[in-house]
Structure 1
Amino acid sequence: MSLIGTHVAVAGGLVKTGLREADEAGAEIIQLFAGNPRSWAPRAANPAADEAFRAGCAERALPVVVHAPHLINLGAPSELVLSRSLAALELTLQRASDLGAFAVVVHAGSSVTPGRRTTALAALPELISPLVDRADPSVRLLIEPTAGAGESMASTIGSTVEYVAALNDERVGLCLDTCHLHAAGEDLADPRLIDDLADAVALIHVNDSRDPRGSHRDRHESLNEGTIGLPTLAAFLAHPALAEVPMLVETPTHQRDVTLLKSITDKGTLTEFATTPKS
């Protein structure tokens, strides 16, 4: 069975806010930002807080994922943005190690300028592989395809396959987001959708979408309250390759949605969970 959990806030403290939210949601796994997701400036180090958080997670047997800042763009044409992105990602990998996390999630990035995607993809190995070489081997880097806006480097299944092939590093995995895939135009009910990526998927963000399929808009909605719906989410999660892949919700009603996801998996066979009334 997959571990099921949620993204938690930590602005009030890793333990006081983060672990409290985890406990309230009944989370079996959590994700957090180790700093301000919309700033290049790192959060001041607090080794005592890190140790207290690690101890609290160990007590709960609670795995941790760190989400990298949204500003990071591994396909940026600007040398300044690219250098800042690499520095921020390396720091995030270090912070994940400090916190005892097993993975860092980072968005796949945008090539920004039309026609640059091939060049940006070709540069990935020399950008990412050295970071992974220097990182704690217990922390795995996971690439998250985006919703397809702008010059996205990976959003659809096809473009993500190309991204993985260009990177060519088995140490780096994938985090798929159901809202992103839906917004990129993919049919989540297609039972063969992720066949070509199955071996690389290490984490799932399970989110409904406020916008229609193909909108390229990344706006999460509570499960079964958006344009994807619970039957389609259940069909997607029923893929055999996802049977033991951890799932995290990033929704405004995360406590309710963790409970809902657990109720689906308790059915034993996700595809049998055809309808669920909205709450």
Structure 2
Amino acid sequence: MLNIGCHLSTAQGFFAMGQDALKIKANTFQFFTRNPRGSKAKAIDPSDIAALRKLTAEHHFAPLLAHAPYTLNPCSAQEKTREFARLTMADDLVRMEYLPGSMYNFHPGSHTGQGVDVGIAQIIALLNEILQKEQQTTVLLETMAGKGSEVGGKFTELRQIIDGVELQDKMGVCLDTCHVNDAGYDIVHDLDGVLEEFDQVIGLERLRAIHINDSMNPLGSHKDRHQKIGEGQIGLEAMTRIINHPRLRQLPFYLETPNDLPGYAQEIALLRSKYIE
């Protein structure tokens, strides 16, 4: 079975997100832990979480994926910005324990002129402070497009971060198809080669989730502009190969395309029609 979902709004609550997922024939979903452009998080409603957990168990959902807000920058040159990221992510991981077995994805950040090695060291320091042995959430580093001073546009940078983390069993990677295309990894013409490089550098056992997005921009553009499935530079044929690849097909896929709920339903139906059972 193709495990696929999309990004849903937490505005209506967790159980409502689960219901929305079922409406569009999804069997997982992604959500922001809090306002993606701010810092406030809604109070946890245990009954709402319990209803969602019952629903996801009954319908055999794949793991849910939480996304940290875009405002976080764990490797900013500004100490107060790094501290904001640390406090927010630590709080998010506490809240994620209400959904045991889920995943928490974040953008490694931008080193803002300090240099990539300094940025990586700051990300490692943050992770070593917030990760806990008893946590049930896997924290995912997202592959990035490499725009500006972004960290994570190269597989080697993600490996450096993982190597520095003490609790490495709590760490994984989320591969974003738009981002890796824009970073220069040719998943259209050489998917096997890209996955082999990922395996050699990071290890495919670390790959836990895929953001499946088309890209508005060509290979190596370093732009990060998502497009609807089949309407961008990656294209439907390549997307079909990705979801059916023997090294990827059992992973959960999460859509982050510029869409509304009916649009996501259409994309999910399209990709399911291309999946070989």
TM-score range, shorter chain: 0.7 to 0.9
Matching of residue 145 in structure 1 with residue 143 in structure 2: yes
Tell me if the contact between 2:44 and 2:95 (Cα under 8 Å) persists in the aligned partners.
no
Alignment of 1:160-239 (within 5 A): 160-167=158-165, 169-189=168-188, 190=190, 191-195=192-196, 196=200, 197=202, 198-239=204-245
- Report the Cα offset of residue 167 of structure 1: 4.1
- Report the Cα offset of residue 20 of structure 1: 2.8
User: What secondary structure is seen at the aligned counterpart in 1 of 2:275?
Assistant: helix
Tell me if the contact between 2:6 and 2:256 (Cα under 8 Å) persists in the aligned partners.
yes
Structure 1 residues without counterparts, runs of 5 or longer: 269-279
Matching of residue 258 in structure 1 with residue 268 in structure 2: yes
User: What secondary structure is seen at the aligned counterpart in 2 of 1:258?
Assistant: helix
Counterpart AA for 1:199: E
User: What secondary structure is seen at the aligned counterpart in 2 of 1:142?
Assistant: strand
State the percentage of identical aligned residues: 28
Alignment of 1:35-54 (within 5 A): 35-54=34-53
Distance in 2 (CA, whole Å) between partners of 1:238 and 1:112 is 38
Matching of residue 13 in structure 1 with residue 13 in structure 2: yes
Distance in 1 (CA, whole Å) between partners of 2:149 and 2:163 is 18
Tell me if the contact between 2:212 and 2:254 (Cα under 8 Å) persists in the aligned partners.
yes
1:33 is aligned to 32
- Report the Cα offset of residue 158 of structure 1: 4.0
Distance in 1 (CA, whole Å) between partners of 2:109 and 2:213 is 20
- Report the Cα offset of residue 234 of structure 1: 2.8
2:60 is aligned to 61
Counterpart AA for 2:54: A
- Report the Cα offset of residue 21 of structure 1: 1.9
Distance in 1 (CA, whole Å) between partners of 2:161 and 2:44 is 34
The one-character-per-residue Cα deviations of 1:126-167 (angstroms, maximum 9, x if unpaired) are: 32023222662x211011122211111111334434444444
1:275 is aligned to none
- Report the Cα offset of residue 71 of structure 1: 1.2
Tell me if the contact between 1:104 and 1:140 (Cα under 8 Å) persists in the aligned partners.
yes
The one-character-per-residue Cα deviations of 1:29-68 (angstroms, maximum 9, x if unpaired) are: 1111122111112223333322332233233232321111
**Residue of structure 1 aligned with 2:152, choices 142, 151, 154:** 154
User: What secondary structure is seen at the aligned counterpart in 1 of 2:181?
Assistant: helix
Q: Considering only aligned residues, what root-mean-square deviation do their CA atoms show, in Å?
A: 2.1
Structure 2 residues without counterparts, runs of 5 or longer: none
Tell me if the contact between 1:121 and 1:167 (Cα under 8 Å) persists in the aligned partners.
no
Distance in 1 (CA, whole Å) between partners of 2:122 and 2:83 is 13
Matching of residue 122 in structure 1 with residue 121 in structure 2: yes
